[in-house]
Structure 1
Amino acid sequence: MKSIKLICLVFFFQLLCSNTTYAQFGISTDLLKLGASTLGIDKLFKKPAAITTAFEDVNKEGSQMPNFFKLEVAQPLYLLPKAPNGGFILCAGYYEMTNKSYCLHAGTFAPSKGDGYMYAPTNGSKKEIVTAILKSAENHPEIQQHDIQILLWAIIAKTKFIDFSNEVKLTAITLLTKKQLTQLEDGALGFLPDDVINQAKAKLPESVQTVFEAENNIRGLITSGNYTYQEMEKYAILAGFAPPRTDYPSGIWTLHPDGYYVRYIPSGYSVTKVQIYVPKELIISLKGKILIYDATNDIACPANTGSQRLAQTNEPLNPDYSIILKTLCDGVN
């Protein structure tokens, strides 16, 4: 009896996670519902999200309005000395860098000009995986930003590694270790048919339903292996813009836990201008201790919860290395 029950469970699981839709099998809706119930699919829905960072994770203490500091022209951040394990060694001064950034919240609006973004740490069950991808990508310029974004969407959508398309698998294998690849299976889901999705959505808050459905659509596309980037983007990025919050305007400064100030000005979700102000007093107080900015640990988090949260990188876009850095970094070679 136990063997028969186990076979039934495996059968239903394969149906729900199959690369082919349930309609192609001619399976009834009632049977799928029974399968979902038998599997305890509701418990899977409650598993923690891959990345959970939200505006509630932003420490707003010490934050300043956009025009609080009277600063000169910013110097290129990417010209500062490189840190041994990634990122840049900060010196006193005002710096900026336009870098690659990535969407980490499918089913939300792209950034708009009025959106205020603030620093928050990367949290969630896949935070180490996401950080590892962003760090590893620095050493693989041959991998296109779009390919990395699709991999991140696959992870955010809880797609099983075994269901990745060949292209996404190749990107993952290039950027992650074998141990990290096995961790992609934890908390993953297969593509779920419409009736199961609708049943689950009925139990979710309205604000979460769109994200839940978007993630399932992304899983379906990646599993099929037949998609364009534009099709993937259509599900990940909602059309239009979320209304901006005036209490946290664009250009607001966050006091980073390490003592410097940082702000984010996105241009869409794939490009972000990062500006950093390092007070001279901070450098003096460190008494020779090195201060590092490593963007792969940071998320630009929107005050408007309907907008994209953006993973940051240490990869500048269109850098000009002919510029001479004016800052003298005492004690830094």
Structure 2
Amino acid sequence: MIRRNFLIGTAFAGLALTHSAARAQFGNIGGIVKGLGGTPKLPKLLSGPEPVSTSIKDAVYGDPSRDGWKAPARVGDLAALERTAAGGFVLAAGYHRMTAQSYCLHAGTHGPGGGDGYLYAPLKGSARDAVTSILQNSVAKPHIAQRDIQLLLWAIVSRSKFENLNNNLKVVASELLTPQQIASLNRGALSVLTSSEFQRVAGGVPEPLRSVMQAESRMRGMFSGPSLAYADMERVAMLAGAVPRGEGSIDTPATRWSHHPDGYWVRYIPSGYSQTQVEIFVEAGSGAVGTTYDPATCVAVPGNTARQRLAQSGRVYGR
């Protein structure tokens, strides 16, 4: 136990926050707001790469020609397929399905629902490697609770200081990330803003971007606080009330398939943000037979951009 505590302490020791005026405060919001036209000019503090930047612009694989297509009556268990060391699935011909653990990657937005469909897109962003490692490594560590993984991902997307996480999350981080990855995430962290500081920085930012910025700022404060309740964090991440149609949304029925660039079709049907029914169809004799579906590199992107994008994992929901 002493040795383990020493190793954990070593992984977090000396992680100092470095600040740069050119560093992103809230992802690529500056570029997005500029594209809206007629909105206030944002300070340089708000420009730069997001930890997770996958967006509707990356979800170019939707296949409307499959709308109304009837899947085969015979359904295989995706979780029963051969697995890779990283938790991926070696695909066989046929129709496969499983209910996977999924994770919110976009705090300050609305959860899935309302008949809005989801599309496949690749995981992108400055924290892509860390997020992928968390999702891949968690497959072989079923003792780590799904909620702890979600909290770790929220810490990343909100740019919270890893040195300020509670001891439990520090242990989780040390099991799923390398010390180098932890140090890199900590260098990109931001300080907690007071209400007046947030107002000065984001006072002129339009919705829905302001809600995202506010949620991330509140999360940083909660991760730095003396106690951390999952229900409180969830309330900050999930917007309640009527769901608007987000900027750049595309009409996407809930049954829409995506044609993955590796040659198979994949469909995501979430039930809330924490579980997603994943369906994959592989044509017999196609080049997709024998390829790997690695959910850790995939994001389920909502056709309505006011809703949350969802990270996928190779862990079966409820296990």
- Take 2:118 and 2:94, find their aligned partners in 1: how far apart are those partners? 21
Alignment of 1:1-333 (within 5 A): 42-60=43-61, 62-240=63-241, 242=243, 247-283=251-287, 290-318=290-318
- Cα separation, partners in 2 of 1:208 and 1:273, compared to 1, 3 Å: same
TM-score after normalising by structure 1: 0.78
Per-residue deviation, residues 170-204 of structure 1 (Å, max 9, x unmatched): 22112111111111123210110111111111243
1:206 Cα deviation (Å)?
A: 2.3
- The offset of 1:88, in angstroms, is 1.0
Give a deviation string over 1:68-99, Cα, whole Å, max 9, x none.
24422321101111124431110110010101
The 8 Å contact of residues 98 and 317 in structure 1, kept in 2 or not, is answered as yes
Distance in 1 of aligned mates of 2:201 and 2:69: 47
- The one-character-per-residue Cα deviations of 1:122-157 (angstroms, maximum 9, x if unpaired) are 011001100100111112111111111111101100
1:264–1:300 contact (8 Å) kept in structure 2: yes
- Flag as ranges the 4+ runs of structure 1 deviating above 4 A: 243-246
Shift of 1:318: 4.8
Kept in 2: contact 1:51–1:122 (CA 8 A): yes
Contact 2:63 2:256 survives alignment (8 Å) = no
CA apart distance, 1:280: 1.3
> Secondary structure at 2:142's aligned position in 1?
coil
Amino acid at match of 1:304: N
TM-score after normalising by structure 2: 0.81
Q: Which moved more, 1:268-277 or 1:135-144?
A: 135-144
Post-superposition CA distance 1:244-291 (Å, at most 9, x none): 7783110200000101000000000000000001111414xx6xx731
TM-superposition CA deviations, 1:206-240 (whole Å, max 9, x none): 22100000000000001003121100001011113
Call closer, same or farther: CA 1:61–1:134 in 2, change over 3 Å.
closer
Per-residue deviation, 1:67: 1.8
The more displaced of 184-193 and 302-311 is 184-193
SS of equivalent to 2:278:
strand
2:52 touches 2:125 (CA, 8 Å); kept in 1? yes
Question: Could you say if the C-alpha distance between residues 42 and 122 of structure 1 is closer, same or farther in structure 2, counting changes exceeding 3 Å?
Answer: same
Change (3 A) 1:235 1:108: same
More displaced, 43-52 or 155-164?
A: 43-52
Q: Per the alignment, in what secondary structure is the counterpart of residue 186 of structure 2?
A: coil
The 3 A distance-change label for structure 1 pair 241 and 273 is farther
SS at match of 2:208: helix
Once residues 69 and 110 of structure 1 are traced to their aligned partners in structure 2, the CA distance between those partners, rounded to angstroms, is: 27
Following superposition, the deviation at residue 65 of structure 1 comes to: 4.3
State the identity %: 40
- Aligned residue for 1:36? none
- Report how far residue 100 of structure 1 moved: 0.3
Task: Answer with 1 or 2: which has the greater Rg.
Answer: 1
Gap change, CA 1:147 and 1:208, over 3 Å in 2: same
1:292-319 CA-partner distances (Å, limit 9, x unpaired): 1111100000011110100000111357
Instruction: Report the AA paired with residue 263 of structure 1.
Output: R
User: Residue type matched to 1:195 in 2?
Assistant: S
**What 5-or-longer segments of structure 1 have no aligned partner?**
1-12, 14-40, 320-333
CA separation in 1, counterparts of 2:111 and 2:244? 11
Query: What is the distance in 2 between the residues matched to 1:239 and 1:206?
Result: 15
Distance change >3 Å, CA 223–CA 70, structure 1 → 2:
closer
